[in-house]
Amino acid sequence: MDKRILVPIDLSDVELAKPAIASTLMMAKEADGVAEYVPTTCP
């Protein structure tokens, strides 16, 4: 099983991204995996 979590983060709204980052880090830690962030922006 792959232990990478890919998370698209909209950099135009950092406050909205903070809970997603925290949840992802928690899940990755529990699974002994890693989180990879993909920066995105909305048009």
At 39, the amino acid letter reads: P
pTM above threshold 0.75:
no
Q: What is the pLDDT of residues 4-43, one digit of tens each?
A: 999 998 888 889 889 989 999 999 999 999 999 998 887 7
Query: 1 versus 22: which is more confidently predicted?
Result: 22
Classify 10 as helix, strand or coil.
strand
Distance in angstroms (rounded) separating the CA atoms of residues 6 and 11: 15
Report which of 32, 40, 16, 41 is spatially closest to residue 5, judged by C-alpha positions. 32
For the record, the structure tokens of 13 come out as: 């709204």
Q: For residue 33, what pLDDT is reported?
A: 94
Q: For residue 28, what pLDDT is reported?
A: 93
Residue 42 near residue 10, CB atoms below 8 Å: yes
